[in-house]
Structure 1
Amino acid sequence: MIGFGRRDVVRLGAGLGMGAAVLGPSLARAQGAPVARPPAGALRGLERDGVMAFKGIPYAAPPIGALRFRPPGPAPAWNGVRDATRAGAASIQTIPPWAAWLYDQPASMDEDCLTLNLWTPGLEGRRPVMVWIHGGAWRTGEGAAAGNDGAALSRLGDVVVVTVNYRLNALGFLAHPDLRDPGTGAAANWGVQDQVAALRWVRDNIAAFGGDPGNVTLFGQSAGGTSVANIAQNPANRGLVHKMIIQSGAFFGPPALPDVAGAAAYAEALAARLSTTVAGLKAVPARRLHDTELAFAREWGAQHGGRVPVLPIADGVVIPQPPRAAPLPAMPLLIGTVRDEGVFWFDLVGPDGKPVPGSRPPADEASLLVMLRALMAGNRPSSAGMAPEAVLERYKAAAAGRGTPTDPRSLWVALYTDLGFRVDATEVARAHARAGQPVFLYEFAHPLAAPAHGVPHCAEIPFVFGTNADPYFAAKSGTGPAEAALARAMMQGWARFARDGAPSSDEGGAWAPVSASGEGINVLGGPEGVRRVLPRVRGEEMAVWGA
């Protein structure tokens, strides 16, 4: 990775001090310390290889004390020139083995975490702005992770890249009527409100970094992709986002997505575990609250056989409707998935060839059918009249026809990929096209470097940001000529979409838009090159679900 590493320890000489406040941007840059002067306050960053980085910028008040379980408040003001050479603390979290494929351990974690980082080729001009919402099941991740360092994307695409920290776990997504904010009426979705606050900061300040507040692309992966839909669908956020990129986002609906009343029992049980009331959770030390909730979540999930309600919920305020029920707004959309999403949880292998501990795959066909029945009920309620046995037979036949494995684990990975991600992406793209909006559908098909296998959830991120050669990813993502070409093509595709709503790359050409019937998939990477177009991907399986 060429850029500003998340563990940069560069410190400016004490002699520079507050002098940067009066030097002016050009002289400050000559000394290696660019100074930006947005309305929020002057900031001193770093410049390397033609890109300036400003990190750890507070976009809202620290959500501590009386502001825990409250909407984000205004960011504090400062005097003089604030140092912006180091990232802020990540939200408090615990990274499981499979998530460690993407996220290295944060340098620091704290409840005071509402900061953002940005990269820009220059402080003048009106460049497209790309705001990244990281994924991690609303439980892990940070804006300063190695995989989403924005330097390479900013440089190659001539765009301003912004990455955001937001509240995670119970601190960000616990919901209960007793937490209702008297000003906004919100009783949930604190982390989503953080994301919106960051977008408002971008609107008000990004021009001072060479960005165009009238051309903001919101992009994110997994939980971040779902967050893109959640934010864009709310009419209260109109004008903050002008284009959307949804990477492997899940479009939840009932019963997987509760409302505030449906989430209340969990908050009450957690409070009882901590010998307090729901309101009393505001006074529990943050680390204790996190550790207790994480252990309790495992018990709750096992006992209730469902999703733990620590995630964005349809509260009628921050998220007026479930994402699956609400149409996306009229703006360009780039959306897609990776080929083997489910490998990430059920069949992930590390660069050393050893399996990465994850969720338990089915041991035989009987357990596969039990898991499939639950998956269909939670993710595809419209499939209630379909027999899991018949679905499984159709998947077996399709896999056998392609010459791919038909063992329970492989079939489960395919089913989980489709019902968790691919079906939703296809249906959302088709609906957006039918509404007359420009939409581009992709499938990332570049496999991990041997001895790992498959194309798991998150595999595309190092290519979107051009960080595949970073030491954290090199052995997993690959660093050969094919990988370098794919990273260039994907960075160009994402950046050009942000510029004018039409992705293209020098090597892969202009992308094909998806048709109203759902045809036209841009397949990225793999043995056939950086991009090719297929009418459909896994058409036989998609037909099972009417997608």
Structure 2
Amino acid sequence: MASTIDIETQDGTVRGTRERGVGRWRSIPYAAPPVGELRLRAPQPVTPWSGVLDTTRFRNAAMQNKATARIGLRTVQPVSEDALTINVTAPLRPATAPRPVMVFIHGGAYIFGTSAMGLYGGRQLALRGDLIVVSMNYRLGAFGYGDFSRYSTAERPFDSNCGLRDQVAALEWVQRNIAAFGGDPDNVTIFGESAGAAAVVTLMATPAAKDLFHAAIAESSPADWAHGPAAADEFAAQCIELLGATEQTAAETLANCDPEQLRRAGAKAIRFAMTDRPGYMPAVPTVDGNYLPTTPIEAMAAGTAHRVPLIIGTNRDEATLFSRRNKPSEQLPTCPDRIDRYFDGSDPDIKARVLAAYSGYPAPGTAINLGGDATFLRPTLAACDAHSAYAPTYNYRYDYAPKLLQRMGFGATHASEMLAVFGVVDTPLGRALTAGGSRRGLRLVTEQVQAQWISFARHGRPLPSWPQYTTQTRRTLVFDTPTRVAHDLDRARRVAWRDVTGPHEVAGISDGFSDEVEKAI
């Protein structure tokens, strides 16, 4: 059995395990359980404990469909509102100075996911980079991204942006406690993938997050995932209707309903919205004028976002992962019907210009590429253009795909860069993915990606081989075998998307929603 290791935090002693060169502490509470009177409220401080808290195993995932909380072939993590926890992986070898810290924010469309995924453990990254890897849970779906503040009463108030506030609270925990694990609170890099990458750019626009991190990495970020109060109110109203409540009974219902009821209501409202408007996610941060004053891209363009160095990029074949399934979180505009609905209300000339940039459209492959670019590339390039005027910005595209992913038709699909970021090549997953060859290629790309991420986390800049992105040069580092620097990569697509606004900038979700609710109820 692995030996244990105790660390004294400001809230109490936590007991972790020594595992193959690293210490691991799992499910450390960073905020009070958001249950009872704290449901749908901003996170509150942990009540300090006496004695030693066992953090040798994971506890709960945030509320979500139980099927999405799978962390192994036969293992499903329990789901609960009581899930505001953080994990730490730290090298055990002696250090001559405090170690850089990388804080990972998991993806999952803001409606599913857990920091307990084996991929996110961070052992290989921590050992290679001699740094500390932290990951967190945060509230999801209606619990984290439903803005029910309009239903507040004097007896039962509700807060906006609970999931975003959770992420800030986790970063505050890092500032208070990471030194006890050997980390440097003055050198923290946040990184995330997909919705986690959207969270990264949103934190860059969140005043409360100022000085809590010093560099940021956004992998495949739907960087415009934020909406205004009107759209937030509409999503909240849909949840209330699905709960069978009224304006007058909403506060009592939200406070006292079974958590699974609230989860289901939020999931149905999300499904209806995404089916009606491909590419739209209603459970996103709310630009409330207070906690989140403006959208991330608007903040970057105005220079009011935190001016930290930023790595941001996409994968070559983002949307292939979503094109074969029909889950609510996967309703991207990847076929002609969804693409037509994506452009509903847009200038016909803009739509024609975008379609013309995809040779062979409406062939399935080109439609899938268009959907991936609409969701990930379009807002990523907007963020690059905006942030690069104020802070060092580095753009990448991840093109490498093991032969197995190529044969399956996925290519360098969404999330595949995490195989390199977290270094899975010598794990059972890595061996399975490279069973048909490509082990050497995956190892080479892993070394390249990790070298850049580690340099960025240590020094606030990648290696010299990666030039900054500016609107004059538009240089992109393409990770592949070989890795190369490209100038104005896919210029025709960039120009085609330049004036296109995403679905989150459109008010209202669906005039036909009430009819759908009646069918569902």
TM-score of the alignment, normalized to the shorter chain, above 0.5:
yes
Q: Which consecutive residues of structure 2, in runs of 5 or more, have no partner in the other structure?
A: 500-521
Kindly tell me: are residues 545 and 206 of structure 1, through their superposed partners in 2, closer, same or farther at Cα, counting changes over 3 Å?
same
Displacement after TM superposition at 1:100 (Å):
7.9
1:285-344 per-position Cα deviation (integer Å, ceiling 9, x unaligned): 112221343234323544677835222121122221012211132121111110011112
Q: Distance in 2 between matches of 1:518 and 1:375?
A: 31
CA contact (8 A) 1:226 1:246 kept: yes
CA contact (8 A) 1:149 1:467 kept: no
Equivalent position SS for 1:45: strand
Q: Distance in 2 between matches of 1:304 and 1:515?
A: 33
Alignment of 1:489-508 (within 5 A): 489-504=448-463
CA contact (8 A) 2:278 2:338 kept: no
Which residue, out of 216, 219, 225, partners 2:188?
216
Pick which of 420-429 and 328-337 moved more.
420-429
CA contact (8 A) 1:60 1:197 kept: yes
Q: Distance in 1 between matches of 2:72 and 2:185?
A: 30
Equivalent position SS for 2:314: strand
In the alignment, which residue of structure 2 is the partner of 1:461? 418
Displacement after TM superposition at 1:426 (Å):
2.2
In the alignment, which residue of structure 1 is the partner of 2:515? none
Displacement after TM superposition at 1:347 (Å):
4.4
Equivalent position SS for 1:116: strand
In the alignment, which residue of structure 2 is the partner of 1:452? 408
Q: Which consecutive residues of structure 1, in runs of 5 or more, have no partner in the other structure?
A: 1-9, 13-31, 349-354, 400-405
TM-score normalised over the length of structure 1: 0.80
Kindly tell me: are residues 524 and 181 of structure 1, through their superposed partners in 2, closer, same or farther at Cα, counting changes over 3 Å?
farther
Question: Does residue 258 in structure 1 map to residue 227 in structure 2?
Answer: yes
CA-atom RMSD in angstroms: 3.1
Displacement after TM superposition at 1:77 (Å):
1.1
1:93-114 per-position Cα deviation (integer Å, ceiling 9, x unaligned): 12779x9899996422111000
In the alignment, which residue of structure 2 is the partner of 1:20? none
In the alignment, which residue of structure 1 is the partner of 2:487? 535
Q: Distance in 2 between matches of 1:271 and 1:358?
A: 21
Kindly tell me: are residues 182 and 152 of structure 1, through their superposed partners in 2, closer, same or farther at Cα, counting changes over 3 Å?
farther
CA contact (8 A) 2:59 2:77 kept: no
Displacement after TM superposition at 1:225 (Å):
0.8
Alignment of 1:210-289 (within 5 A): 210-252=182-224, 257-276=226-245, 277-279=249-251, 280-289=253-262
Q: Distance in 2 between matches of 1:271 and 1:91?
A: 21
TM-score normalised over the length of structure 2: 0.84
Displacement after TM superposition at 1:473 (Å):
5.6
Equivalent position SS for 1:44: strand
Kindly tell me: are residues 495 and 390 of structure 1, through their superposed partners in 2, closer, same or farther at Cα, counting changes over 3 Å?
closer
Q: Distance in 1 between matches of 2:496 and 2:212?
A: 38
In the alignment, which residue of structure 2 is the partner of 1:3? none
Equivalent position SS for 1:264: helix
Q: Distance in 2 between matches of 1:181 and 1:413?
A: 46
Equivalent position SS for 2:388: helix
In the alignment, which residue of structure 2 is the partner of 1:393? 356
Equivalent position SS for 1:326: helix
CA contact (8 A) 1:178 1:187 kept: no
Q: Distance in 2 between matches of 1:210 and 1:170?
A: 36
CA contact (8 A) 1:459 1:477 kept: no
Displacement after TM superposition at 1:374 (Å):
3.5
In the alignment, which residue of structure 2 is the partner of 1:374? 341
Q: Distance in 2 between matches of 1:182 and 1:493?
A: 51
Equivalent position SS for 1:315: coil
1:346-384 per-position Cα deviation (integer Å, ceiling 9, x unaligned): 147xxxxxx999957889xxx71x533433469xxxx73
Amino acid at match of 1:416: G
In the alignment, which residue of structure 2 is the partner of 1:113? 83
Pick which of 453-462 and 133-142 moved more.
453-462
Q: Distance in 2 between matches of 1:102 and 1:393?
A: 43
Equivalent position SS for 1:395: coil
In the alignment, which residue of structure 1 is the partner of 2:130? 158
Equivalent position SS for 1:120: strand
CA contact (8 A) 1:176 1:260 kept: no
